Amino acid sequence: QVQLQQSGPGLVKPSQTLSLTCAISGDSVSSDRAAWTWIRQSPSRGLEWLGRTYYRSTTSRWYHDYAVSVESRITINPDTSKNQFSLQLKSVTPEDTAVYYCARTIDDSSGFDYWGQGTLVNVSS
Amino acid sequence: QSALTQPASVSGSPGQSITFSCTGISSDVGVDNYVSWYQQHPGKAPKLVIYDVSNRPSGVSKRFSGSKSGNTASLTISGLQAEDAAVYYCSSYADNSPHVFGGGTKVTVL
């Protein structure tokens, strides 16, 4: 059974960097079949896909895709030593206030089959 | 503003079937079979109920079914039960993003 456990602060000041971590159990961040994603949800923006990271052994490379809306501010990094991946979002504003989720897709399926518990992040001074 | 259009709300009585839509364009919902549906109860993470248009994950009730015609995908819940009351979101591939979401449909069980 795959479990995703999120951690990170619930309050970030404007202009600072939002940092969250998603610890994986029951799968590997280096899995050839999976992609590891961050999604956020707010009343104003609804559900919003932010980006993903995934590894493919055929090329021995890590890949990253980011949403156009945040691509200048976002970094998603895998940490193979801890079997987790992280989200960093720079220069946050109150508009970045949302519940942030990590999630998994597998085998190029359209569906996110496992989700973290969600972290409410408030951007406020 | 969400990329995919869903009705804001749908209601039905216990035991009835309901169907609601997710409308996009040819470059998102209309592309391949890359549509998924999620059920979300208040305060909880979304739960996958349909992937790749019409496939049910293990453990999801057979009462949930999905289909697609052109640029519109649909989710049907048959034999409606009180526990089905939730917000349902569709998701699809799009030109500028691997995943875009609809605005959600609130299902009320009367």
A53-107 pLDDT, tens digit per residue, is 999 999 999 999 999 999 999 999 999 999 999 999 999 999 999 999 999 999 8
Is B45 close to A115, i.e. CB distance below 8 A? yes
Alpha-carbon gap, residue B102 to B89, rounded angstroms: 6
* Per-residue model confidence as pLDDT tens digits over B80-100: 999 999 999 999 988 788 899
Rounded Cα distance, A76 and A19, in Å: 10
Q: Quick check: helix, strand or coil at residue B46?
A: coil
Is B47's Cβ below 8 Å from some Cβ in A? yes
Secondary structure (DSSP) of A23-41? EEESS-TT-SSEEEEEEEE
User: B64 to chain A nearest CA, in Å?
Assistant: 15
CA dihedral A118→A92→A38→B26, nearest 10 degrees, is 120
Burial of B13 (0-12, 13-18, 19+ CB in 10 A): exposed
> From chain A, which residues contact B within 8 Å (Cβ)?
37, 39, 46-49, 52, 65, 67-68, 101, 109-113, 115-118
**How far from B31 is each of B4, B15, B71, B97, CA to CA, in Å?**
13, 33, 8, 13
- Interval A2-22 mean pLDDT: 98
> Kindly report the CA angle at B23 between B19 and B25, in degrees rounded to 5?
155
What pLDDT, on the 0 to 100 scale, is given for residue B2? 64
* Measured distance CA(B56)–CA(A115) in Å, rounded: 17
Which residues are CB-neighbours of B102 under 8 A, at least 6 positions away?
A: A46, B2, B3, B4, B5, B6, B22, B89, B90, B91
Does residue B25 register a pLDDT over 80? no
Is the CB of residue A65 less than 8 Å from the CB of residue A49?
A: no
Place of tokens 């992040």: A121
Q: Does the pLDDT of residue B27 top 80, yes or no?
A: no
Inter-chain touch A110–B91, beta carbons under 8 Å: yes
With pLDDT > 90 as the criterion, what percentage of chain B qualifies? 80
